[in-house]
Chain A
Protein backbone atom coordinates (compact mmCIF):
# COMPACT_ATOMS: atom_id res chain seq x y z
CA UNK A 1 0.00 0.00 0.00
CA UNK A 2 1.08 3.58 -0.62
CA UNK A 3 1.49 5.39 2.69
CA UNK A 4 0.43 9.03 2.78
CA UNK A 5 1.92 11.19 5.54
CA UNK A 6 0.72 14.72 6.17
CA UNK A 7 2.50 17.42 8.14
CA UNK A 8 1.83 19.04 10.44
CA UNK A 9 -0.96 17.19 12.25
CA UNK A 10 -2.39 20.53 13.32
CA UNK A 11 -1.77 24.11 12.37
CA UNK A 12 -2.85 27.49 13.76
CA UNK A 13 -2.74 30.44 11.37
CA UNK A 14 -3.95 34.02 11.77
CA UNK A 15 -6.72 35.38 9.59
CA UNK A 16 -5.30 36.71 6.34
CA UNK A 17 -2.08 34.78 6.69
CA UNK A 18 -0.81 31.93 4.50
CA UNK A 19 -1.33 28.30 5.50
CA UNK A 20 0.61 25.40 4.01
CA UNK A 21 -0.06 21.70 4.50
CA UNK A 22 2.36 19.06 3.27
CA UNK A 23 1.66 15.55 2.04
CA UNK A 24 4.34 12.96 1.34
CA UNK A 25 3.72 9.63 -0.39
CA UNK A 26 5.78 6.48 0.09
CA UNK A 27 6.14 6.13 -3.67
CA UNK A 28 5.90 8.44 -6.64
CA UNK A 29 2.41 9.43 -7.74
CA UNK A 30 3.63 10.76 -11.09
CA UNK A 31 2.62 8.81 -14.18
CA UNK A 32 4.89 9.73 -17.06
CA UNK A 33 2.51 8.41 -19.73
CA UNK A 34 0.08 11.26 -19.12
CA UNK A 35 2.29 13.65 -17.14
CA UNK A 36 -0.08 13.65 -14.19
CA UNK A 37 0.28 13.34 -10.43
CA UNK A 38 -2.47 11.15 -8.98
CA UNK A 39 -3.20 13.22 -5.88
CA UNK A 40 -6.26 15.03 -4.54
CA UNK A 41 -6.96 17.34 -1.59
CA UNK A 42 -10.18 17.46 0.41
CA UNK A 43 -11.59 19.76 3.09
CA UNK A 44 -13.82 18.40 5.87
CA UNK A 45 -15.69 20.69 8.22
CA UNK A 46 -17.21 19.31 11.46
CA UNK A 47 -20.30 17.19 10.89
CA UNK A 48 -19.96 17.40 7.10
CA UNK A 49 -18.67 15.08 4.41
CA UNK A 50 -15.36 15.92 2.78
CA UNK A 51 -15.33 18.33 -0.15
CA UNK A 52 -13.01 18.06 -3.14
CA UNK A 53 -10.65 21.03 -3.44
CA UNK A 54 -7.82 19.98 -5.76
CA UNK A 55 -7.21 17.03 -8.10
CA UNK A 56 -4.29 16.01 -10.31
CA UNK A 57 -2.22 17.71 -7.58
CA UNK A 58 -2.87 21.23 -8.85
CA UNK A 59 -6.24 21.47 -10.64
CA UNK A 60 -8.76 23.43 -8.60
CA UNK A 61 -12.29 22.01 -8.51
CA UNK A 62 -14.99 24.25 -9.94
CA UNK A 63 -16.31 26.69 -7.34
CA UNK A 64 -13.31 26.42 -5.03
CA UNK A 65 -11.91 29.87 -4.14
CA UNK A 66 -8.64 30.71 -5.85
CA UNK A 67 -6.92 31.23 -2.49
CA UNK A 68 -6.60 27.41 -2.46
CA UNK A 69 -3.78 26.01 -4.57
CA UNK A 70 -1.98 22.71 -4.89
CA UNK A 71 1.61 22.09 -5.90
CA UNK A 72 4.25 19.41 -5.96
CA UNK A 73 5.16 16.33 -7.93
CA UNK A 74 6.38 12.80 -7.41
CA UNK A 75 6.26 12.17 -3.66
CA UNK A 76 5.98 15.66 -2.15
CA UNK A 77 2.91 17.84 -2.36
CA UNK A 78 1.60 21.01 -0.73
CA UNK A 79 -1.83 22.56 -0.25
CA UNK A 80 -1.59 26.32 0.22
CA UNK A 81 -4.27 28.71 1.39
CA UNK A 82 -2.97 32.13 0.44
CA UNK A 83 -5.04 34.25 2.83
CA UNK A 84 -6.83 32.33 5.55
CA UNK A 85 -10.52 33.04 6.04
CA UNK A 86 -12.60 32.04 9.06
CA UNK A 87 -14.57 29.55 6.96
CA UNK A 88 -11.37 27.66 6.10
CA UNK A 89 -11.19 26.12 9.59
CA UNK A 90 -11.42 22.40 8.85
CA UNK A 91 -9.49 19.17 8.59
CA UNK A 92 -7.65 18.72 5.30
CA UNK A 93 -6.82 15.37 3.73
CA UNK A 94 -4.69 14.34 0.80
CA UNK A 95 -5.48 11.15 -1.12
CA UNK A 96 -3.58 9.18 -3.74
CA UNK A 97 -5.36 7.38 -6.54
CA UNK A 98 -2.34 5.97 -8.31
CA UNK A 99 -3.06 2.70 -10.11
CA UNK A 100 -3.76 -0.13 -7.69
CA UNK A 101 -6.03 0.12 -4.66
CA UNK A 102 -6.28 0.94 -1.85
CA UNK A 103 -6.53 4.63 -2.67
CA UNK A 104 -5.18 5.81 0.64
CA UNK A 105 -5.68 9.08 2.51
CA UNK A 106 -3.29 11.01 4.67
CA UNK A 107 -4.09 11.11 8.38
CA UNK A 108 -5.48 14.65 8.12
CA UNK A 109 -4.30 18.10 9.19
CA UNK A 110 -6.48 20.18 11.50
CA UNK A 111 -6.36 23.86 10.57
CA UNK A 112 -7.34 26.39 13.22
CA UNK A 113 -7.22 30.13 13.64
Chain B
Protein backbone atom coordinates (compact mmCIF):
# COMPACT_ATOMS: atom_id res chain seq x y z
CA UNK B 1 0.00 0.00 0.00
CA UNK B 2 1.44 3.34 -1.04
CA UNK B 3 2.30 5.69 1.82
CA UNK B 4 3.74 9.19 1.71
CA UNK B 5 5.35 10.86 4.72
CA UNK B 6 6.41 14.48 4.91
CA UNK B 7 9.32 15.58 7.07
CA UNK B 8 11.08 18.86 7.76
CA UNK B 9 11.20 21.85 10.10
CA UNK B 10 7.92 23.09 11.49
CA UNK B 11 9.23 26.63 11.92
CA UNK B 12 11.06 28.71 9.33
CA UNK B 13 12.23 32.30 9.65
CA UNK B 14 11.10 34.95 7.18
CA UNK B 15 13.37 35.31 4.12
CA UNK B 16 14.84 31.84 4.67
CA UNK B 17 14.25 28.68 2.63
CA UNK B 18 11.56 26.16 3.51
CA UNK B 19 12.77 22.60 2.88
CA UNK B 20 10.57 19.51 3.07
CA UNK B 21 11.10 15.90 2.09
CA UNK B 22 8.52 13.26 1.21
CA UNK B 23 9.43 9.61 1.75
CA UNK B 24 7.60 7.17 -0.48
CA UNK B 25 6.91 3.58 0.56
CA UNK B 26 4.93 0.93 -1.24
CA UNK B 27 5.80 2.14 -4.74
CA UNK B 28 8.83 3.23 -6.73
CA UNK B 29 9.26 6.91 -7.37
CA UNK B 30 10.45 5.83 -10.83
CA UNK B 31 7.03 4.45 -11.73
CA UNK B 32 5.79 5.63 -15.07
CA UNK B 33 2.51 7.53 -15.32
CA UNK B 34 2.87 9.16 -11.92
CA UNK B 35 4.08 12.54 -10.80
CA UNK B 36 5.14 13.46 -7.28
CA UNK B 37 3.97 16.78 -6.01
CA UNK B 38 3.27 19.28 -3.28
CA UNK B 39 0.04 21.02 -2.28
CA UNK B 40 -0.43 23.42 0.61
CA UNK B 41 -3.33 24.65 2.70
CA UNK B 42 -3.04 27.92 4.65
CA UNK B 43 -4.80 27.92 8.02
CA UNK B 44 -8.57 27.86 7.58
CA UNK B 45 -8.28 28.18 3.80
CA UNK B 46 -8.45 26.07 0.66
CA UNK B 47 -5.96 23.99 -1.27
CA UNK B 48 -3.12 25.43 -3.37
CA UNK B 49 -1.23 23.28 -5.87
CA UNK B 50 2.50 24.10 -5.75
CA UNK B 51 4.11 21.81 -8.30
CA UNK B 52 5.04 18.28 -9.27
CA UNK B 53 7.88 16.29 -10.78
CA UNK B 54 8.16 13.22 -12.99
CA UNK B 55 10.83 10.61 -12.25
CA UNK B 56 12.70 11.83 -15.33
CA UNK B 57 13.08 15.23 -13.68
CA UNK B 58 10.44 17.03 -15.72
CA UNK B 59 8.74 19.61 -13.50
CA UNK B 60 5.54 21.61 -13.46
CA UNK B 61 5.25 24.59 -11.11
CA UNK B 62 2.65 27.17 -10.19
CA UNK B 63 3.89 30.17 -12.19
CA UNK B 64 3.19 32.49 -9.26
CA UNK B 65 5.77 30.54 -7.21
CA UNK B 66 8.06 29.57 -10.07
CA UNK B 67 10.93 31.84 -9.11
CA UNK B 68 10.97 30.56 -5.52
CA UNK B 69 10.16 26.85 -5.81
CA UNK B 70 12.26 23.82 -6.62
CA UNK B 71 11.07 20.22 -6.54
CA UNK B 72 13.62 17.44 -6.91
CA UNK B 73 13.70 13.65 -6.86
CA UNK B 74 16.15 11.33 -5.08
CA UNK B 75 15.59 7.96 -6.75
CA UNK B 76 17.99 5.87 -4.61
CA UNK B 77 16.25 7.08 -1.45
CA UNK B 78 12.77 6.92 -3.04
CA UNK B 79 12.14 10.48 -1.88
CA UNK B 80 11.29 13.82 -3.36
CA UNK B 81 11.77 17.28 -1.93
CA UNK B 82 10.40 20.79 -1.93
CA UNK B 83 12.41 23.96 -1.50
CA UNK B 84 10.64 27.31 -1.26
CA UNK B 85 12.92 30.30 -0.93
CA UNK B 86 12.41 33.79 0.52
CA UNK B 87 9.44 32.73 2.60
CA UNK B 88 7.02 35.13 4.26
CA UNK B 89 4.13 34.71 6.66
CA UNK B 90 1.92 34.05 3.65
CA UNK B 91 3.74 30.73 3.17
CA UNK B 92 2.50 29.47 6.54
CA UNK B 93 0.42 26.38 5.76
CA UNK B 94 0.00 22.65 6.05
CA UNK B 95 2.11 21.17 3.27
CA UNK B 96 1.01 17.89 1.70
CA UNK B 97 3.07 15.67 -0.53
CA UNK B 98 1.11 13.62 -3.00
CA UNK B 99 1.14 11.30 -5.97
CA UNK B 100 -0.40 12.69 -9.09
CA UNK B 101 -1.54 10.41 -11.87
CA UNK B 102 -0.44 11.50 -15.32
CA UNK B 103 1.06 10.84 -18.71
CA UNK B 104 4.74 11.29 -19.53
CA UNK B 105 4.06 14.90 -20.47
CA UNK B 106 1.20 16.01 -18.21
CA UNK B 107 0.10 15.54 -14.60
CA UNK B 108 -3.53 14.70 -13.90
CA UNK B 109 -5.52 14.17 -10.69
CA UNK B 110 -4.03 13.58 -7.22
CA UNK B 111 -4.77 10.03 -6.12
CA UNK B 112 -2.69 9.61 -2.95
CA UNK B 113 -1.95 12.22 -0.27
CA UNK B 114 0.45 12.32 2.66
CA UNK B 115 -0.91 13.27 6.06
CA UNK B 116 0.56 16.76 5.83
CA UNK B 117 3.04 18.75 7.88
CA UNK B 118 2.44 22.17 9.41
CA UNK B 119 5.00 24.84 8.60
CA UNK B 120 4.93 28.21 10.29
CA UNK B 121 6.94 31.17 9.01
CA UNK B 122 7.83 33.39 11.94
CA UNK B 123 10.84 35.05 13.52
Contact = CB atoms under 8 A, between A and B. Distances in A.
Interface of A: 1, 38, 40, 42, 44, 48-52, 55-56, 61, 93, 95, 97, 99, 101-108
Nearest to B98: A49
A105 B51 CA distance: 13
Size band of the interface chain B makes with A: 20 to 34
A93 B115 contact: no
Contact of B46 (A48, A93, A97, A99): A93
Nearest to B65: A102
A101 B47 contact: no
Contacts of B115: 48-49
Given A1-B63, A95-B110, 19 more contacts: A40-B110, A42-B110, A48-B115, A49-B113, A49-B116, A50-B113, A52-B112, A55-B111, A56-B109, A101-B60, A101-B62, A101-B63, A102-B49, A102-B63, A103-B49, A103-B107, A105-B47, A105-B49, A108-B46
14 contacts: A1-B63, A42-B47, A49-B113, A50-B113, A52-B109, A95-B109, A101-B61, A101-B62, A101-B63, A104-B49, A105-B47, A107-B46, A108-B46, A108-B47
A50 B116 CA distance: 10
B27 interface: no
A101 B51 contact: yes
Interface string B86-105: 00000000001000010000
B48 A105 contact: yes
A103 B101 CA distance: 13
Contacts of A61: 111
A12 B16 CA distance: 43
B110 A106 contact: no
Contacts of B116: 49
A42 B63 CA distance: 23
